Amino acid sequence: MNLEALLADRLATAFHAVDGVPVDPAVRASQHADFQSGAALALSRQVGRPPREIAQDAVARADLAGLATAAVSGPGFVNLTVADEVLAAGVEALDDRLGVPPVAKPERVVIDYSGPNVAKELQIGHLRSTIIGDALARIFDFLGHDVVRANHLGDWGTQFGMLIEHLVESGGDAAGESTLADLTTFYRAARQKFDGDDDFRDRARRRVVALQSGDEATRRMWRRLVALSERDFMTTYARLGVTLSAGDFVGESSYQDVLADVVAELDAKGLLTVSDGALCAFPPGFTGRDGEPLPLIVRKSDGGFGYPATDLAAVRHRTRDLAADRLLYVVGAPQRTHFRMVFAVARQAGWLTGDDVAEHIEFGAILGTDGKMLRTRAGENIRLSALLDEADARASSPAVGIGAIKYADLAADRRSDYVFDWDRMLASTGNTGPYLQYATARVGSVFRRTDTECGPVRLTEPAERRLALALLGFEPALTAAATLREPHRLAVHLHDLAVAFSGFYETCPILRAEAATRASRLTLADRTARTLRVGLALLGIDQPETM
Residue nearest to ligand ARG (CB): 115
Distance of CA 384 to the CA centre of its chain: 19
Q: What distance in Å separates the CA atoms of residue 259 and residue 312, rounded to the nearest whole number?
A: 9
Whether residue 356 contacts residue 207, with contact meaning beta carbons closer than 8 Å, is answered with no
CB 213: neighbour CB atoms within 10 A? 9
Tell the smallest beta-carbon distance from residue 268 to ligand ARG (Å): 24
Non-local CB neighbours of 227 within 8 Å, separated by 6+ positions: none
User: 99 or 154, CB closer to ligand ARG?
Assistant: 154
User: 10 or 485, CB closer to ligand ARG?
Assistant: 485
Whether residue 76 contacts residue 83, with contact meaning beta carbons closer than 8 Å, is answered with no
Strand extents, DSSP E, 43-122 = 68-73, 77-82, 108-112
For residue 366, which phi and psi values (nearest 5 degrees)? Answer: -100, 125
User: 122 or 280, CB closer to ligand ARG?
Assistant: 122
Tell the smallest beta-carbon distance from residue 538 to ligand ARG (Å): 23
Is residue 152 near ligand ARG by the rule CB under 6 A? yes
Pairing of strands 108-112, 326-330: parallel
- Which one among 99, 133, 154, 403 touches ligand ARG, defined by CB under 6 A? 154
User: 69 or 158, CB closer to ligand ARG?
Assistant: 158
Window 297 to 336, contacts with ligand ARG (CB under 6 A): 311, 314, 329, 331
Is residue 157 near ligand ARG by the rule CB under 6 A? no
Tell the smallest beta-carbon distance from residue 250 to ligand ARG (Å): 9
User: 82 or 352, CB closer to ligand ARG?
Assistant: 352
Contact pattern from residue 108 through residue 127 relative to ligand ARG, giving x for each residue in contact according to CB under 6 A and a dash for the rest: ----x--x-x----------
CB 363: neighbour CB atoms within 10 A? 23
Tell the smallest beta-carbon distance from residue 113 to ligand ARG (Å): 8
Tell the smallest beta-carbon distance from residue 99 to ligand ARG (Å): 35
Nearest residue to 73 (alpha-carbon basis) of 42, 38, 48, 43: 38
- Amino acid 423 reads D
Tell the smallest beta-carbon distance from residue 259 to ligand ARG (Å): 14
Strand extents, DSSP E, 385-518 = 418-419
Tell the smallest beta-carbon distance from residue 163 to ligand ARG (Å): 15
User: 152 or 203, CB closer to ligand ARG?
Assistant: 152
End-to-end CA distance of the chain: 32
User: 154 or 444, CB closer to ligand ARG?
Assistant: 154
Q: What distance in Å separates the CA atoms of residue 284 and residue 137, rounded to the nearest whole number?
A: 32
Tell the smallest beta-carbon distance from residue 183 to ligand ARG (Å): 15
Pairing of strands 278-281, 326-330: unpaired
CB 307: neighbour CB atoms within 10 A? 16
User: 306 or 503, CB closer to ligand ARG?
Assistant: 306
Whether residue 522 contacts residue 450, with contact meaning beta carbons closer than 8 Å, is answered with yes
- Amino acid 319 reads T
For residue 298, which phi and psi values (nearest 5 degrees)? Answer: -95, -35
Is residue 138 near ligand ARG by the rule CB under 6 A? no
Tell the smallest beta-carbon distance from residue 387 to ligand ARG (Å): 17
User: 87 or 150, CB closer to ligand ARG?
Assistant: 150
* Residue numbers at the binding site for ligand ARG (CB under 6 A): 112, 115, 117, 152, 154, 311, 314, 329, 331
